[in-house]
Amino acid sequence: MIGYYPAAQIRAAEEATGPLLTGGVLMARAAAGVARVALSELRERCGGVYGRRVGLVVGAGNNGGDALYAGARLARSGAAVQAVLPAPDAAHPGGLAAFRAAGGRVVPTLSPDTDLVIDAVVGLGGHGPLRPAAADAFAAVPGVPVLAVDLPSGIDPDTGQVHDPSVTATVSVTFGARRLAHLLAAPRCGRIEVIDIGLAEGESSTLGEPAVASLTDAEVAALWPLPGPADDKYTQGVAGIVAGSEQYPGAAVLCTGGSIAATSGMTRFVGGAAAVVVGHRPEVVAVHRIADAGTVQAWVVGPGLGTGAHAEHLVEHVLAADVPALVDADGLTVLARRPDLLAGRTAPTLLTPHAGEYARLAGHPVGPDRLAAVRELAAELGVTVLLKGRITLVADPDGTVLGNDAGSSWAATAGAGDVLSGMAGALLAAGLPPRPAGAAAARVHARAALLAEHGGPPGPGGAPIGASDLVAAVPQAIRELEGLGQ
């Protein structure tokens, strides 16, 4: 897994290194890492280093010191390095001396023909937007690639809240381990480069357990329940879908499609759209009444269901059954007025709200701290909660969280959530616990959106997609992840 850590945990790990911190060893290692990544960026983007212009925007403290020592290394490598100091009296004295000694120049503003900007205004201690002087320094070089030291300035390290103004980085160079903001504000952080400065994760780590983790592609592949030689449709998992209506059959078609594509052994469907569902997916076992559905190993209830008395009856029936259940969309609106339906439930339960549905369930908006929000709701309701978004967060009631960065917003299209529900429901039916089921489904869902967007492997370009395109791409996304996991 890939771990993400809060600022206090990173600071404690640094302090635990003792003389490595106080003697400047950690800073020297950090500066060397920043310089190494900067040199690589210049070679890749500009074809070389000599004579290329690098601009530093440097704040106070160790973050600024890292950049100044890195700037000295870049200057000795042949780059023309300039630094803007929004608060010159607070600049790291040793770093500034080394920077000047290597030929670096302190300037009032960066040259518009700068090739690379290094953002070192604030690090882990940063909160709130850029101050005017720093904002002006970045405004002077619009469109220039930015390398952020630790994380982009103007983004809170623990919540990922993006303030205005703030920096958008091409690459963020961080030390020892990823910060929470690298996941929670991933679109603003760019590529993440982790430099080992002596806080390495593992048995000898001073970091401890991460606050949030993401599954790797190999871990998702290992979790995915592909059928083996001894499997049949029952051991592979029977998912029951209660969704859609005669008036709105689309959610039913998409949700069952997601279940089938995610390799459920059998998908049963209950609802008024039974004929439409079978017309699209003849392998679905479809009935109109839930009493006729037969045995299932997990239920999905809610997409396109409506919110009236009949929908409430169906949600109540599903949650009364002693099998895993996923509640989405209209089912969540029912739960918002009938949270008692979860009382006493012991079978695994996964709720999958978007921000609006979260507000109905919790009684307040998500707010800027999405991590705290998803933990709060999971603990309050005693179930696993998957908070949808570009960054998906899946929290158990004990506060354990898995996150996933979709890498794009192509899945932000009508019906995509119905597909995700069907996929996660298939994984629940196969026996996965709710948290890994939600996280794994989100990863494959995101990859399928990229494949559907490009009509091939992820890469530049692409065109708008619909949720049906996403369903069609799910099997290829699974095949690709399985290949990566081997």
Bridging pattern class, strands 391-395 and 401-405 = antiparallel
129 among annotated binding-site residues: yes
**62 annotated to bind ligand:** yes
Give the contacts of 467 (CB within 8 A, at least 6 positions apart).
254, 413, 414, 415, 416, 418, 419
Match 């009631």 to its residue by tokens: 397
Tell whether residue 308 is among the known ligand binding residues.
no
Cα–Cα dist 377/277, whole Å: 33
Query: CB–CB of 195/6 below 8 Å?
Result: no
- To the question of whether residue 113 is assigned a binding role by annotation, the answer is no
Q: Is 330 annotated as a binding residue?
A: no
Q: Which residues contact 243 (CB under 8 A, 6 or more apart)?
A: 251, 252, 255, 256, 269, 271, 273, 300, 301, 302, 303, 304, 305, 418, 421
Of 69, 103, 63, the residue nearest 86 (C-alpha):
63
Is 438 one of the annotated binding-site residues?
no
Q: Return phi, psi of residue 14, to 5°.
A: -65, -45
- Amino acid in the structure at residue 183: L
- As a whole number of angstroms, the distance between CA 483 and CA 486 comes to 5
Residue 368 among known ligand-binding residues: no
* 417 marked among binding-site residues: yes
Q: Is 422 annotated as a binding residue?
A: no
Residue 463 annotated as binding site: no
CA gap 292, 477 in Å, rounded: 34
End-to-end alpha carbon distance in the chain: 16
Q: Is 125 annotated as a binding residue?
A: yes
Q: Cis omega before residue 460 (within 30°)?
A: no
Sheet containing strand 285-287, edge to edge, reads: 178-179, 2-5, 212-214, 401-405, 391-395, 384-387, 349-351, 325-327, 298-301, 238-242, 266-270, 285-287
Closest residue by Cα to residue 244 from 254, 230, 258, 229:
254
Across-strand partners of 192? 172
- What angle (nearest 5°) sits at the alpha carbon of residue 214, between those of residues 212 and 220? 145
Q: Is 313 annotated as a binding residue?
A: no
Ligand-binding site membership of 116 (annotated): no
Please state whether 342 falls in left (phi above 0), alpha (psi between -120 and 50) or beta: alpha
Q: Is 51 annotated as a binding residue?
A: no
Helix, strand or coil, per DSSP, at residue 249: coil
The verdict on whether residue 354 carries a ligand-binding annotation is yes
CA distance 475 to 267: 16
Return the closest-CA partner of residue 236 out of 257, 202, 264, 215.
264
* 364 marked as binding residue: no
The reply to whether 228 sits in an annotated binding site is no
> CA–CA separation, 139 vs 155, rounded Å?
17
Please give the Cα distance from 390 to 410 (Å, whole number): 9
Please indicate if the annotation marks 404 as binding a ligand.
no
**Closest by alpha carbon to 447, among 416, 474, 484?**
474
The DSSP code for 162 is B
Q: Does 48 carry a binding-site annotation?
A: no
389 is known to lie in a ligand binding site:
yes
Binding residues for (6S)-NADPHX: 62-66, 123-129, 150, 251, 304, 354, 418
> Which residues participate in the annotated binding site for K(+)?
63, 119, 153
Residues annotated within the binding site are 62-66, 119, 123-129, 150, 153, 251, 304, 354, 388-392, 417-418
Binding-site sequence positions for AMP: 388-392, 417
